[in-house]
Amino acid sequence: MNIDFERKTVIVTGAAHGFGRAIAQAFAARGAAVHICDVNEQGLAETVSLCGEKVHSHVLDVGNRSAVQLTVAAIATSCGSIDVLVNNAGGVRGQVGRPIEEISEEDWQTIFDVNLSGAFFMAQAVAPVMKKQKSGRIINISSGAGLGISLTGIQAYASAKAGQIGLTRQLAHELGAWNITVNNVAPGFVRSNPTTERQWDAMGADGQAKLLQTIALKRLGVPDDIAAMVMFFASDFAGWISGQVISVDGGK
């Protein structure tokens, strides 16, 4: 299967590390002009240095609708098209699992802002461009937490990721008439960033072994496994696939 993205413009959010960085590298290696977004300016610079000259960075909080509109408009103007959007920005914003009665409104909202509102705002901004060109790919990165429960125990994270899966299905039907597909990748547990490293360490040897036993392949994946699924969804091979959620988790 030969997948390439020559002359394609791609936006990847949450690209300062982990899945987003791996996804940006995969697109760049296949010829795309890649625009990466994150609030972490230093991490963005590191991603650019790994990807090369076809990657351009934008410091952006995807939960800020006005900033999203401005950034996407600038990319569309400079490139003339936006072919692929990967909504990867997310995470737990430094939170840990706590009882429901201890969760503040701010704790709840900040996780929704990046994981769900951000995906909506980015899709909302690229939709007019993709409609005009009558083609596009939107790929949301959710989590196994959106299909089951979160290993973190964070209520807002599981809820926001489940909401993102619902958004995927809804937008697939709304945008399909313009040849825009909307799909979702639900990763299992992958050691991909400082947060997941802390989670892994907190499990201890027994917890780590127990987790591995729940995986059919008996091993953890790597960020490139998630990027590979994104490459497929973004390619011509997935032209008649939309509204789908694929778990990339080693088998459950």
What is d(CA 84, CA 73) in angstroms, rounded to the nearest whole number? 14
Task: Match 């039907």 to its residue by tokens.
Answer: 173
pLDDT, one tens digit per residue, over 47-88 is 999 998 889 999 999 999 999 999 999 999 999 999 999 999
Residue 66: Cβ-neighbour burial (10 angstroms; 0-12, 13-18, 19+): exposed
- Percent of the chain surpassing pLDDT 90: 89
Q: Which of 157, 159, 175, 233 is catalytic?
A: 157
Query: For this structure, is 147 an active site residue?
Result: no
Domain boundaries 9-248, corresponding CATH code = 3.40.50.720
pLDDT, one tens digit per residue, over 185-241 is 999 999 998 888 988 999 999 999 999 999 999 999 999 999 999 999 999 999 999
Domain ranges of the chain: 9-248
- pTM of model > 0.75: yes
Three-class secondary structure of residue 135 per DSSP: coil
